[in-house]
Amino acid sequence: MVKTPIVKEGYIYIAFLALLTAIVALAAGPYWSVVPGTLLVFVTFFFRNPNRSVPEDSVLVLSPADGKVMSVCEVYDDQFLNEVGNKVTIFLSVFDVHVNRSPIAGEITFQQYTCGRFRPAYKESAGCENERHAIGLESENMRVLVTQIAGLLARRIVSWVTLGSMLEKGERYGMIKFGSCTEVIMPKTVEVLVKKGDRVKGGETIIGRLMQ
For strand 67-77 and strand 172-176, is the pairing parallel, antiparallel, or unpaired?
A: unpaired
The Cβ-side half-sphere exposure at 97, using a 13 Å CA radius, reads 23
- For Cα atoms 190, 196, 199, give the angle at the middle one, nearest 5 degrees: 90
The Cβ-side half-sphere exposure at 72, using a 13 Å CA radius, reads 16
Active site residues: 180
CA distances from 148 to 13, 20, 24, 54, 185 (A): 22, 32, 37, 20, 12
- For Cα atoms 103, 110, 129, give the angle at the middle one, nearest 5 degrees: 85
Which value, in Å, is the radius of gyration of the alpha carbons in the chain?
Answer: 18
Spatial separation of the C-alpha atoms in residues 60 and 191, rounded to whole Å: 10
By the 8 A CB rule, do 132 and 154 touch? no
Q: Indicate the burial class of 28 (C-beta count within 10 angstroms; 0-12, 13-18, 19 or more).
A: exposed
